[in-house]
Chain A
Amino acid sequence: MFYIYPLSRVMWISVSEPAFGLGNYALLFTSPAVQRILVTTARICAITSLLTLVLGYVVAYAMVHVGEGHRQWMLFCVLLTFWLSVLVRAFAWVMILRPEGPINAALLGLGLVTQPLALVRNETGVVIGMVHYMLPYAVLPLYANMQGIDRRLVAAARGLGATPFTAFRRVFLPLNMPGIVGAGLLVFVFSLGFYITPAILGGGRTTMIAEYIGIQVLTTLRWGLATMLASTLLITVFLMLAIMSRFVSLRRLFGAA
C-alpha cells in the first residue's frame, strides 16, 4: 500500500499537471532538451551494458574454469565491490580520474600526453563509473548460469574433433545464451534509472534522465515534466522486464542478486 500509492500518484501527476491531458508526453517528441537527455541516457546505458557484459563474461568464464581456492578469491573481489557503498566508489573514481589524479600524472610523466586528459565530468567518467558499479550484477548471474552448464558437453565436442573455439562457439555459447541476455538486460535496466554515479562523475555536464528528473523537481519545480519522464522510465523498465521474462526466470535473477 505504502508503495503502490506513491507510484500511482506519480503516474497521475504526469497526466494532470499543469493541465489535464497528455500535454507532458507530447514534450517527448517536441522538446529538443528532453530528446537530448533521452538520447544521452540510451547511449550511455547501451555502452555500459555492452562493456559490462564483455568484462563480466571474462571474469565469470574464468571463475568456472579455475580451481576452488582461486575461485574463492575472485568471488571475494567481486563481492567486495558489490557490498561497498556506491558513494565511496564514485568518490574513488573522481580521485583517480581528475586532472591531478594518478592516471593523468602517469600519462604526463611518461610524456604520452602534453596536457591532462578530461576523464571525469564527462561521458567517459560516467561510463567508467557505471561499468564499475554494474560489473558484479553481470558477473554473479553469468557465473550462476555457467555453473549449470554440463562441461562434459564441451569435452565431448572436443573429442569429436572440434577446435577449442568451435566447441566454445557452437556448444558453450548457445547454452549460455539465457544467462547472457538476462545479465545484459539486468544491467541495462539498472543503469537506466541510475542517479548517483552519473550525477557525481558527470559533474552536471553529462546529465542522464534520473538526474534531470531530480533537477526538474528540486530546482525548477516542473512536476509535470518530471513525473512524465519518471513514468516513461517506469514503463520502459517494465517493457524491458517483459522482454527479459521470455528468456530467464525473473525471480531467480533477482533472488541471486
Chain B
Amino acid sequence: MEGRRGLGYGVLLAGAWMVLSFLVAPMAVVVPVSLTDRRYLSFPQDGLSLQYYVNLATNDVWLGAIWQSVVVAIASTIGCVVLGTLCAVGCWRIGSRLAEGVRALMLMPIIVPSIVHALGFYRMWIDLRLLDTFTGVILVHVVTGFPYVVITVSTALATFDPRLEQAARNLGASMTQTLRLVIVPCIMPGILAGAVFAFVHSWDELVVLLFITSRKLYLLPRAIWAGINENVDPTIAAVATVLMLATLSGLLLERYLRRRAARGGRLATLVARDTRRRRRRPSDPRLIDALRTGGRGSRRRYRARSADDSGLAPAISWPGARVARAAISPRSHRPCRTPP
C-alpha cells in the first residue's frame, strides 16, 4: 500500500481534506461577520469595524456573563480535580471488583444524555433551594465533570510503578506524604489533562444551566444561547471569534509543549545512555553542545536522570519521587554493611 500512490490515493486524500474543510470552514465565516460595519448580523459592506469587540469589552451584560462563567469554571475545576484524583487513586489502591464497579459507574454522567440528568437536578435543586445559586451550578458541574478527571488520572496511574509508593511508605512517609510527594507528582500529566477536560466541560455546559439558573445567574453559554435565538446583535459573532481564538491558541500551545517535551525527552535518553557507558559526565561533544544550547528543560531533565540511572521511571525531578526511586534502585541496595 505504502509504495503505491496511484489514483485511489489521490481521491482518498481529496475526500479526506474535503471532509476536514467541512469541519473547519464554518469557523471562517464567523470572523468576517464579527467585523461587520452594519447594525445587524451580516458580512461587512463598506469596510471593517471593530465596534462589536468594543461593545463586548464594555457591555456589562457580556462582561458579567464572562466573569460568572470564569468563577464557576475555576471553582468546579478545582472540585473536579480534587475529587477525581482521590477517587482514581482510591480505586487504584483497592484494585478489586468493587473498584471496577465504581469506575464503570463513573462513566454514567458522560453517557447519560444531559437532558435526563438536567431534569433530575432541577427537581432536586428545587427541594434543596439551590436553584439559581453559584453553589448549585458548581455542584452540578463537579458531579458531571469529575469522571473526566477519574479517567485521565486512571490512565496515568496505569503506567505508575506501584513499587515507588511501597518504597516511600517503607522509608517512613505517611500516607499523605506519599500522596503529596510521590504519587501526585508522577501522575501530574493525567491530572492536568483531566483539569482541562473539567474546565471545558464547565465552560461549555448549557443544558443543565437552562433549567437551574434564571435571573441572578447569567453565564456565558446562556448569553450566547439568547444571542443566537434573538439573531440580531453581531456582538455574538465577536464572542464566537474570541472563543475560537482561545481554543486555537490552547491547541497550538499544547502542540508546542508536547513537541518540546519530546525533544527534551530524546536528549535526556541520549545523555543517560552516554553517561551510563562512561560512568561519568556526558562525553560526546555533540551531546554536551546540545545540552548547553538545548534549553532549560533538557538540562534539568539530564540532571534528574543522572541522579540515578536505574532507568525505572521516566526522568522526573521532584525530590520525593527521586528519594523513592533511589530506594528501589539496584545501586543503593548494594550492601555497604551486612545486615545483622
Question: Which residue numbers of A lie inside 8 Å of B, CB to CB?
Answer: 2-3, 5-7, 9-10, 13, 55-56, 58-59, 61-63, 65-66, 74, 76-81, 83-96, 100-102, 132, 135-136, 151, 154-155, 158, 164, 189, 192-196, 200, 210, 213-214, 217-218, 226-227, 230-231, 233-234, 237, 241, 250-251, 254-255
Contacts and interface: CB of A to CB of B under 8 A. Distances in A.
Contact of B151 (A189, A233, A254): A254
Contact of B119 (A93, A227, A251): A227
Given A59-B19, A65-B1, A77-B23, A10 B123 contact: yes
Interface string B221-263: 1001101110100001100100110011011000100000000
Contacts of A241: 111
Given A95-B33, A95-B41, A88 B113 contact: no
Contact of A7 (B42, B117, B151, B240): B117
Nearest to B210: A214
Contacts of A55: 19, 22
Nearest to B20: A77
Contact of A65 (B9, B43, B103, B210): B9
Given A3-B109, A87-B228, A90-B228, A96 B29 contact: yes
Chain A contact residues, majority secondary structure: helix
A6 B116 CA distance: 9
B316 interface: no
Contacts of A76: 251, 255
A2 B224 contact: no
Given A58-B15, A84-B247, A154 B207 contact: no
Interface residues of B, number: 71
B102 interface: no
B224 A83 contact: no
B108 A233 contact: no
Contact of A132 (B13, B26, B104): B26
Contacts of A254: 107, 110-111, 151
Contacts of B20: 59, 74, 77-78
Contacts, number: 199
A83 B250 contact: yes
A2 B113 CA distance: 16
Interface in B175-214: 200, 203-204, 206-207, 210-211
The residue in A10, A155, A218, A231 that gathers the most chain B C-beta atoms within 10 A of its C-beta is A10
Contact of A83 (B8, B41, B206, B247): B247
Given A88-B244, A250-B107, A3 B26 contact: no
B112 interface: yes
A88 B229 CA distance: 13
The residue in A79, A87, A151, A227 that gathers the most chain B C-beta atoms within 10 A of its C-beta is A87
A3 B117 contact: yes
B283 interface: no
B139 to A, nearest CB: 7
Given A63-B16, A84-B247, A87-B206, A217 B23 contact: no
A214 B212 CA distance: 12
B143 interface: yes
Contacts of A210: 113, 115, 207
B41 A9 contact: no
Q: Which 6 A-B pairs have the closest CB atoms?
A: A193-B113, A6-B120, A62-B16, A92-B26, A210-B115, A88-B240
Given A87-B204, A88-B240, 14 more contacts: A10-B116, A56-B19, A59-B16, A61-B12, A74-B16, A80-B24, A86-B206, A87-B206, A87-B228, A132-B22, A192-B113, A210-B207, A234-B113, A251-B107
A212 B158 CA distance: 42
B122 interface: yes
